Structure 1
Amino acid sequence: MQSASVTPERPSGRLHRARALYRNVSKRRTAWLLLKDTVNSCIEYRILGLAAEAAFFTLLSVPPLLLSMIGLLGYVDDWTGTDTISSLQTNLLEASRTVLSDKGVNEIARPILDDVMQGGRPDVISIGFLFALWSGSRAVNVFIDTITVMYGLDGVRGIVKTRLVAFLLFIAALLIGSVALPLMVAGPDAVVRIVPWSTTVVQVLYWPVVIVLSIVFLTTLYHVSVPVRSPWVEDVPGALVALGMWVLGSFLLRIYLQNTVEGATIYGSLAAAVAVLLWIGVSAFAVLVGAAVNAAIDRVWPAAATAAARAANERLREAQVAEYVARAAAAREADPDDPDMPSEFPERWSRFLPPEDVTARLRTQVKSSQNAHKGGGEEPSGSAEK
């Protein structure tokens, strides 16, 4: 592996360095190194739990976002027309029946929609949209933090800057997703209905264009999440892996949902929400695995920028550790009458253990001491009787 302090002689990118470093290493061995590093990263950084966290915040942002967008229709009803608003309201009420009971739809969902869509509620628009922005950017922040830690660059970018980047990425994803997701779900037939003269072109180019745009978006997400700049194209492998895992995971999830959620199910009215949450979780998991692949590639064939940033981050940590050790030594010299207790005393660990653990260890120590004293006191009497 290339040292973090070594700068590549030729500016031809990571591909040349990979050939130079692994000229005598078999492709199977190199693939095994990347696979092992990726799996270790997924286990070490709790990819599954972080994907669940991102899925939760993403799902949490959907209802207020939809409600705020619906509230805008109260101001543009002259452009959209009453038929569009009534059709949208009917579809939303039908969708809410998959989560709420009939009583909940009639007493909660319908009055809210009537109030929002007919009256034009600025409070619903503003508060709902702000909450959606916070929740959605919080989900994106999970991706950015995880990718940064995978590269060993945690602490390089500040908290405020990280949240700002997450907010901007969420806005960009919102704008792109509002156009791309309906087209991906509807398929090429929906585009043909909009542009009837382009039937042949759409049928041929639709899915290639969708795949290319998805790869571009994922690569950009990985590229922006890393605190230091590296060539954009070097993040493409992770995007390819993430897209492949997303397709495979969505296929397997569809089979699972068909056998467990559809029809009579223990989830009842929550079946639709559970299905959406699982799909978002699978998508988040695929994105994080792709990030782990990119981080593994960077550790095996480090880029100059990330290697230098990691070296600087390690030097900063070493300086912090040295400062802490010096402070502890100064404290011991200032108070020499209070030496460290032996390791057998549980009080030594009182700073690191919860209070209940310290109490349990103290009681165990006291009981063992009492038993030792009792045993020592009985031996002389026994010997005297003899």
Structure 2
Amino acid sequence: MGWKARRLTRFSGKAAAVTDGRQAGPFLELADFKRAFSRFREDQITDNAAALTYYSLLSLFPALLFCAALLGTFGQQGLIDHATSYLRDAGAPQDTVDAVKGALSSAQDQRGKAVVALIIGLVISLNGASGAFGAAGRALNVIFRVEEGRGFVRRKATDLAWTLCVMVLALITMVLIFLGGGLAADVLGKIGLGDTGATIWLYVRWPAALAVTMTIYAIVYYAAPNVEVRHFRWISAGAVVGVVLWILASALFFVYVSNFSSYSATYGAFAGAVILIVWLWVTNLALLFGAELNAVIDLRRSPHLSETYDGPVLPAKEPAEA
């Protein structure tokens, strides 16, 4: 089936049949994991995860600049103290904790300049993070067996718009994680909830943070690749498995780093940077494996999907004939 015909199926009965086909069969089978892992190796996703890690690293520090300016502009001293305490409790080196606390306190003391830094940080971080979103799209195109056919302007505009959504959700996740304990009691006390609300918040914030993380996965799976059949699904097997794998892999990695590895002895002052890079790579592996699992499940549950799923939303331009 040609790409023009595939484009027409979006408005035809066959498109509806493909959508209905998603309801056929179990939500998840054990064989799906085996096939997803096979495709994972076939698509060389470890290499794609490494490329995505590179762009993620480039976008990380501008995003941290934006977050620091945001906390300095709108945050209270209690939030800054709680954020640094969280880093200390999580095992961050004291030099790192002191540097973060100093940067946040300095930004808070100079709110006027912090507003300027906030605007500059937003522009820089949005552009940098959009590079990571574009890299995710290229990796997902490999997973979904499509070529990139969207023009530069359209692709960049899409990346910027969805990157902004992801950044907002990431900030919400940070607030959910950092806003705890006595600080939550102070904030909730202003609206009449007080200690009772703070107690409830301590139990609610972690499931809420998990739900927001699931939303980030869903947005990346929905908006990043150039695929034709892509219905937004907040909860998908790939997203659930990806998030669970990310949590487990992160926990095991940090246990290994804390107890068994010799990163500090091997890399010295660069140990923190190396650990961050490896953790980002593990994070991206979990994200991309979840996408592979979604692709496998969709192909199994949709009888007609093989005719349209491998077709791009916009086809890659063919070279002009001589």
What TM-score results when the alignment is normalised by the length of structure 1? 0.59
Q: Offset of 1:38 from its aligned partner?
A: 1.3
Q: Distance in 2 between matches of 1:233 and 1:306?
A: 20
Contact kept? 2:141, 2:147, Cα under 8 Å:
yes
Letter in 2 for 1:217: I
How big is each residue's C-alpha offset from its partner over 1:132-188, in whole Å with a ceiling of 9 and x where there is no partner? 333211111111122123212323433432222222222112112122124336667
Task: Mark the CA change 1:64 to 1:7 in structure 2 (over 3 Å): closer, same or farther.
Answer: closer
Q: Distance in 1 between matches of 2:71 and 2:256?
A: 37
Q: Offset of 1:67 from its aligned partner?
A: 3.8
Q: Distance in 1 between matches of 2:281 and 2:216?
A: 18
1:31 aligns with 30
Aligned pairs (5 A) from 1:41-80? 41-67=39-65
Return the index of the structure with the highest Cα Rg.
1
2:256 aligns with 256
How big is each residue's C-alpha offset from its partner over 1:41-82, in whole Å with a ceiling of 9 and x where there is no partner? 3223332222222223223233334445656789x6xx879x
1:145 aligns with 138
Q: Offset of 1:126 from its aligned partner?
A: 6.3
Q: Which runs of 5+ in 2 are unaligned?
A: 1-5, 189-194
Higher relative contact order (CA 8 A, sep 6+): 2
Identical columns (%): 19
Letter in 2 for 1:166: D
Q: Distance in 2 between matches of 1:73 and 1:247?
A: 26
Q: Distance in 1 between matches of 2:218 and 2:61?
A: 28
Equivalent of 1:133 in 126, 129, 135: 126
1:7 counterpart SS class: helix
Q: Distance in 2 between matches of 1:121 and 1:278?
A: 32
Q: Offset of 1:218 from its aligned partner?
A: 1.4
Q: Distance in 2 between matches of 1:9 and 1:87?
A: 53
1:176 aligns with 169
Contact kept? 2:218, 2:239, Cα under 8 Å:
yes
Task: Mark the CA change 1:294 to 1:117 in structure 2 (over 3 Å): closer, same or farther.
Answer: same
Contact kept? 2:36, 2:292, Cα under 8 Å:
yes
Q: Distance in 2 between matches of 1:234 and 1:97?
A: 38
Q: Offset of 1:290 from its aligned partner?
A: 0.5
Say whether residues 1:17 and 2:24 are aligned partners. Answer: yes
Contact kept? 1:219, 1:238, Cα under 8 Å:
no
Task: Mark the CA change 1:260 to 1:272 in structure 2 (over 3 Å): closer, same or farther.
Answer: farther
Q: Distance in 1 between matches of 2:44 and 2:21?
A: 28
2:35 counterpart SS class: helix
Q: CA RMSD in A?
A: 4.6
Q: Offset of 1:244 from its aligned partner?
A: 1.0
1:343 aligns with none
Q: Distance in 2 between matches of 1:14 and 1:149?
A: 23
Task: Mark the CA change 1:204 to 1:13 in structure 2 (over 3 Å): closer, same or farther.
Answer: farther
Say whether residues 1:291 and 2:291 are aligned partners. Answer: yes
- Number of aligned residues: 293
Q: Which runs of 5+ in 1 are unaligned?
A: 20-26, 100-104, 328-386
Q: Distance in 1 between matches of 2:75 and 2:214?
A: 34
Contact kept? 2:184, 2:201, Cα under 8 Å:
yes
Say whether residues 1:210 and 2:209 are aligned partners. Answer: yes
Say whether residues 1:161 and 2:154 are aligned partners. Answer: yes
Q: Offset of 1:237 from its aligned partner?
A: 0.9
Q: Distance in 2 between matches of 1:57 and 1:301?
A: 34
Q: Distance in 1 between matches of 2:185 and 2:252?
A: 29
Q: Distance in 2 between matches of 1:311 and 1:56?
A: 28
What TM-score results when the alignment is normalised by the length of structure 2? 0.69
Contact kept? 2:238, 2:291, Cα under 8 Å:
yes
